[in-house]
């Protein structure tokens, strides 16, 4: 079956020292909660700045997964998060243009504080892209770095 809503992305850790020395735009605060997390799907509600979203992600296949995202009123998103989610992630997302792409760099807060990660969306798994010098190790496919996993197993608790 061909999936038309396929997200293809790569994830990397970020070199904190190089990132801190870089001039960058202000980031956007994100609060996201999880309505459902299992191995076949994740259902997420997100408030990104002053926008709300409901997202359903299918099972990941290394670089890609089906994704359906819908804008919803931010007040509804916040209420859904507060009333119906037990696991959450908070972060500041900074968007950095690089070549024909945009890097989304997430600085995690609260129980995930200390984690700094970048992701890039691609048109295909083998597409070439510019790698800024502040990128660290690639963590694509490592489930520990999925936001849904982090909501249940915070970075601060890792050994």
Active site residues: 34
- Of 10, 67, 56, the C-alpha closest to 34 is 56
The full 3-state SS of 60-110, as one line of letters, equals CECCEEEEEEEEECHHHHHHHHHHHCCEEEEEEEEEEEECCEEEEEEEECH
C-beta of residue 122 within 8 angstroms of C-beta of residue 8: yes
């Amino acid at each position: 079956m061909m999936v038309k809503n396929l997200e293809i992305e790569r994830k990397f850790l970020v070199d904190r020292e190089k990132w801190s020395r870089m001039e960058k735009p202000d980031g956007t605060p994100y609060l996201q909660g999880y309505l459902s997390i299992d191995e076949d799907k994740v259902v997420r509600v997100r408030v990104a700045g002053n926008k709300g979203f409901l997202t359903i992600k299918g099972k990941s296949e290394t670089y890609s997964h089906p994704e359906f995202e819908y804008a919803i009123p931010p007040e509804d998103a916040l209420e859904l998060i507060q009333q119906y989610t037990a696991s959450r992630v908070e972060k500041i997302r900074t968007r950095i243009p690089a070549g024909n792409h945009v890097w989304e760099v997430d600085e995690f807060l609260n129980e995930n504080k200390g984690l700094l990660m970048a992701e890039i969306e691609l048109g295909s798994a083998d597409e070439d892209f510019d790698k800024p010098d502040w990128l660290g190790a690639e963590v694509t496919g490592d489930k520990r770095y999925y936001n849904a996993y982090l909501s249940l197993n915070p970075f601060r608790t890792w050994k």
